[in-house]
Chain A
Amino acid sequence: MHCRNCHTRLSAYLDGELPEREMRDMERHLDGCASCRERLAGLEALDAPLASLSIPEMPGDLGYRIMARASREYFDTPKKGGFRVIARRWLGSTATASALAAGLLLGGLLGWNSHGNPVSERTMMQTEKTVFASLSAAPGGSIEAAVLAGFSDGGRL
């Protein structure tokens, strides 16, 4: 083994992390090479100064702050995913999107029914009624909310 090869493996040799055969090769080389032994001793001598490294004391309230942040950002936050959440986010993005969704819902109902769909006129009217009732109940409310109410109550569709 050449000294250059030995140098690159000294660190792993020191940690006992080389395969058995390579460990034996290293030992044989180190037995006959004072320069590599000195290099190895230099690495071994790092243990003491590194062990002397002190760290600042951990803040006593760190655990409390982690828990408070976890509550705020995880436990007390609605989980991502789920149709209603996605629908709410998507529909809530712009007023235009809300109006579009309402139009699609009502248009779809009418179109579906006109092609002999099994959806009864009664069901269709109930859903429309739900949407318009929501809008009437909260005149300042958004179309988005009304459409979502329609999804819930008109789930029979």
Chain B
Amino acid sequence: MPDRSRSQLPGEVLLEASGNGDRQAFGELVRRHQSWAWGVACRFLGSGNDAEDIVQAAFIRLLGASGRYRRTARFKTFFHVIISRLCLDHAKRKKTEQADDYPELADSSPGQEEALIMNQNAARVRRALDALPPRPRMAVVLRYYEGLGYDEMAVVLETSRKGVERLLSRGREALRDKLGSR
């Protein structure tokens, strides 16, 4: 398969080719999707080190599951299921680190004061997300950062539309209590 054509192929076709031993097809999948996989894992876990382990594991599991993949499911939904499960399993095993990636700034000169506020806000959001139970937290990540609809979220979170509704409602109410002024 020529390199140029791979870059134009849909993920579904690339995944099947990867499963048949086509390294370049898998390389194209990695190139295309590593960034958003990193985003999902980081936003859920809050730690770059943990996110790296999960993203690597997700791609390897994707490859291992390629034989079971059927084109009836969208590639991205399929990959969302994999990475979400890995994140949720990880959360069960380990309490997420608390905002270690957002150190406080010591100096507060005018330019840095703004940065300090931004930093503190980001740390506050991080702590609020970390305080959520894993499934409502994943629901928030999938809705706010991935823009998934309820039907797709139901597939990824292995629940019903009603289940998604409850998870998101629970997540949002808890976040509002921690972050909102109202």
The answer to whether A and B come from one shared complex is yes
Q: Give chain A residues whose Cβ lies under 8 Å from the Cβ of B122.
A: 52-54
Decide if A10 is an interface residue (CB 8 Å cutoff). yes
Nearest CB of chain B from residue A96's CB, rounded to whole Å: 33
A8: B residues at CB distance < 8 A:
166, 169
Residue of A9, A10, A58 with highest tally of chain B CB at under 10 A: A58
| Cα separation A15 to B103 with both chains bound (whole Å) | 34
A66 to B175, CA, bound (A): 34
Interface window among B8-16, B56-64, B83-91, B104-112 = B56-64
Q: Does A11 contact B (CB under 8 A)?
A: yes
Report the minimum CB–CB distance from B69 to chain A (whole Å). Answer: 14
Q: Report whether A17 and B59 are in contact in the complex, using a CB–CB cutoff of 8 Å.
A: no
Asked if A73 lies at the interface with its beta carbon under 8 angstroms from chain B, I say: yes
Of B39, B52, B121, the contact of A49 (CB 8 Å cutoff) = B121
Residue of A nearest to B121 (CB): A52
Stretch in contact with the other chain, from A39-47, A83-91, A129-137, A142-150: A39-47
Evaluate contact between A74 and B64: CB separation under 8 angstroms.
yes
Per-residue interface assignment for chain A, residues 32 to 71, with 1 indicating a CB less than 8 Å from any chain B CB and 0 otherwise: 0000001001110111011111111011001101110111
**Which secondary structure dominates where chain B touches chain A?**
helix
With A46-B175, A49-B121 given, is the CB distance from A11 to B168 under 8 Å? yes
B70 at the interface (CB under 8 A from A): no
Contacts of B157 in A (CB 8 A): none
Report yes or no: A12 in contact with B150, Cβ–Cβ below 8 A: yes
Top 4 closest A-B pairs, CB basis?
A: A56-B48, A11-B169, A55-B42, A42-B182
| A–B complex contacts, Cβ < 8 Å, 22 sampled | A11-B165, A11-B173, A12-B165, A12-B168, A15-B143, A17-B165, A47-B144, A49-B121, A52-B118, A53-B126, A53-B129, A58-B38, A63-B34, A67-B23, A67-B27, A67-B30, A69-B56, A70-B60, A71-B23, A74-B60, A75-B21, A75-B23
